[in-house]
């Protein structure tokens, strides 16, 4: 395919790089990548070995010593150039993401735009790494806080956002003075390889050292575990499932390192009796079926007031029947495939569990076959009537399954139901009453890291800090003051007098 050639993706590729330098030392294991779009092999990757990992880390350590001394606005200038270069490759990169991962071309292009946007954001942030000043209780003393870079930031990303989540972390970490080591999902390595090649040109043109942005593609049991235990990596940003995130947190905590965790979401929308259905419907459908339900912010539960339930159910049925399912490279299609056949099996089991636990499938649930569906990864999105306490509803199924749940009485009842899950990422309410919206946003309202009014659960903008509570992990990435997570905080006290008074009036006379 033409976009593979443009991006420098070959039939055989190496899985470790320090910038422009692609390391030839490999583990000997070949990673073959199959597209969920058509079931064809995208290409092969020679996975990184322990030896190549060590070389990458040592190179990154040296690069950090130089990069940290560059003034933050100068670092921002490099990130600005990266954003400009990515703009030049938006079309082929968006196509690669769509083909390798299976999300729609529009979403693939949107993900590239998200990377461009975070570059722009980071450029501005590079001039705003602010600390506080405060008054000292001691005469002729001054106090302030400042922030310094950490060193190597390890970034472990999931398959569903092959480049955007890395960019959230890497661009912010870079302007803070850190160097970045990226381990992408083995399901989507070519998007990472393409990005590595794009940014390597910028680093070379600016005569910057190898190791600022490094890549290691390899087995989690080898490369992943080594990263988690490596004391040379003070911060690991991990995106993935709760079990893997818990394991990562425990391994890093054992060496007293830091983690940013972005784990699962069991996101809900509340529709009160005053909700505007015309406004809500597109958000409901896109939130539930966008990226074939494989977003951490996918809408999975829908709480509808009993007075509105019948109308909402019929409107959703009509909308779901109009969905076009097929190749995501065809812009006319709404829904692409799941990432692989293992995901299809999880989807099928979840559909069976719904009925076994007392729910009703009112639409969808089958695996599609025939022309255009040869990969075996296409499914028909599900609408199901269920109860919030069902075990399958309490779990996060990474697939397009939307549970319709009726509630009665005031909005507080729906909020209570929404919060009765272990996850706490994204949430939304559709209402025309300011009292209901404010109740949802209050300390007694949504317990999620993201709370929206009259928009859906997915599609977060980069300007706000992204992340959630409870089993979602508590991490924050991207905008707002998320940059502080990539730096070490230092409190400074300066005595510009000729005496040495102690704090709290303590006397120590010699």
Catalytic residue set? 262, 296
Q: What is the DSSP string of 98-156?
A: HHHH---HHHHHHHHHHHHHHHHHHHHHTT-----EEE-SSTTEEEEEEEEE-SEEEEE
The residues with which 216 forms a beta bridge, in sequence order, are: 16
- CA separation for the pair 448, 470 (Å, rounded): 8
**Torsion angle in degrees (nearest 10) through CA of 392, 419, 166, 483:** -170
The CA-atom distances, in angstroms, between 38 and each of 33, 79, 150, 340 are 12, 35, 43, 11
Pairing verdict, β 299-305 and 235-239: unpaired
- CA separation for the pair 115, 164 (Å, rounded): 5
Q: Dihedral sign for Cα 65, 68, 74, 76, please.
A: positive
| Cβ 302 vs Cβ 284: under 8 Å | yes
332-367 burial, b at 16+ Cβ within 10 Å, e below that, comes to ebbbbbbbbbebbeebeebbebbeeeebebebbbeb
- CA separation for the pair 8, 4 (Å, rounded): 6
Task: Write the secondary structure of 41-75 as one string of H (helix), E (strand) and C (coil).
Answer: EEEEEEEECHHHHHHHHHHHHHHHHHHCCCCHHHH
CA angle 354, 356, 358 (to 5 degrees): 70
Q: Which residues contact 177 (CB under 8 A, 6 or more apart)?
A: 67, 68, 70, 72, 75, 148, 149, 487
Instruction: Report phi then psi at 501, rounded to 5.
Output: -70, 145
- Which of 192, 234, 211, 218 shows the shortest CA–CA distance to 96? 192
Q: What is the DSSP string of 465-494?
A: EE--EETT-S--EESTTGGGGGEEEEEEEE
Q: State the DSSP H helix or E strand holding residue 169, giving kind and residue range, or none if neither.
A: helix 164-175
- Which of 453, 294, 488, 506 shows the shortest CA–CA distance to 379? 294
- Which of 364, 393, 186 shows the shortest CA–CA distance to 300? 393
């Amino acid at each position: 395919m033409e976009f593979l050639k443009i991006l420098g993706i070959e039939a055989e590729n190496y899985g470790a790089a320090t910038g422009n330098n692609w390391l030839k030392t490999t583990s000997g294991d070949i990673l073959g990548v199959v597209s969920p779009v058509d079931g064809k092999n995208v290409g092969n990757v020679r996975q990184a070995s322990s030896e190549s990992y060590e070389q990458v880390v040592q190179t990154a350590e040296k690069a950090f010593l130089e990069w940290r001394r560059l003034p933050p606005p100068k670092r921002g200038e490099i990130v600005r150039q990266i954003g400009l270069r990515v703009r030049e490759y938006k079309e082929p990169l968006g196509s690669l993401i769509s083909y390798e991962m299976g999300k729609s071309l529009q979403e693939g292009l949107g993900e590239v735009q998200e990377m461009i946007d975070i570059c722009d954001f980071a450029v501005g942030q590079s001039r705003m790494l602010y600390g506080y000043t405060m008054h000292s209780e001691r005469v002729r003393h001054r106090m302030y806080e400042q922030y310094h870079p950490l060193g190597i930031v390890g970034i472990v990303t999931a398959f569903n956002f092959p480049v955007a989540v890395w960019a959230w972390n890497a661009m912010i970490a870079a302007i803070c003075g850190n160097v970045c080591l990226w381990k992408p999902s083995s399901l989507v390595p070519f998007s990472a390889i393409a990005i590595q090649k794009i940014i390597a040109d910028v680093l070379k043109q600016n005569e910057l050292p190898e190791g600022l942005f490094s890549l290691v593609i390899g087995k989690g049991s080898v490369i992943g575990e080594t990263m988690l235990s490596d004391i040379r990596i003070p911060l690991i940003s991990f995106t993935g499932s709760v079990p893997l995130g818990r394991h990562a947190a425990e391994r890093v905590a054992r060496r007293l390192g830091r983690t940013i965790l972005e784990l699962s979401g069991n996101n809900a929308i509340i529709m009160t009796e005053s909700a505007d259905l015309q406004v809500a419907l597109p958000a409901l459908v896109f939130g539930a079926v966008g990226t074939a339900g494989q977003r951490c912010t996918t809408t999975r539960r829908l709480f509808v007031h009993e007075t509105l339930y019948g109308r909402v159910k019929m409107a959703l049925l009509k909308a779901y029947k109009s969905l076009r399912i097929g190749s995501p490279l065809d812009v006319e299609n709404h829904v692409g495939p799941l990432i692989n056949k293992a995901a299809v099996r999880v989807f099928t089991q979840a559909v069976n569990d719904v009925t076994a636990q007392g729910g009703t499938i009112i639409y969808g649930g089958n695996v599609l076959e025939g022309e255009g569906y040869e990969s075996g990864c296409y499914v028909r999105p599900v609408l199901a009537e269920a109860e919030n306490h069902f075990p399958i509803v309490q779990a996060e199924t990474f697939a397009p399954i939307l549970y319709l749940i009726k509630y009665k009485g005031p909005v507080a009842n729906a909020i209570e139901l929404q919060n009765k899950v272990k996850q706490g990422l994204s949430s939304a309410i559709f209402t025309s009453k300011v009292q209901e919206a404010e109740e949802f946003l209050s300390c007694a309202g949504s317990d999620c890291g993201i709370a929206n009014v009259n928009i859906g659960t997915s599609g977060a903008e980069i300007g706000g800090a992204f992340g959630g509570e409870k089993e979602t992990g508590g991490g924050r990435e991207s905008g707002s003051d998320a940059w502080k997570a990539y730096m070490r905080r230092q409190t400074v006290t300066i005595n510009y007098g000729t005496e040495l008074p102690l704090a709290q009036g303590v006397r120590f006379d010699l």
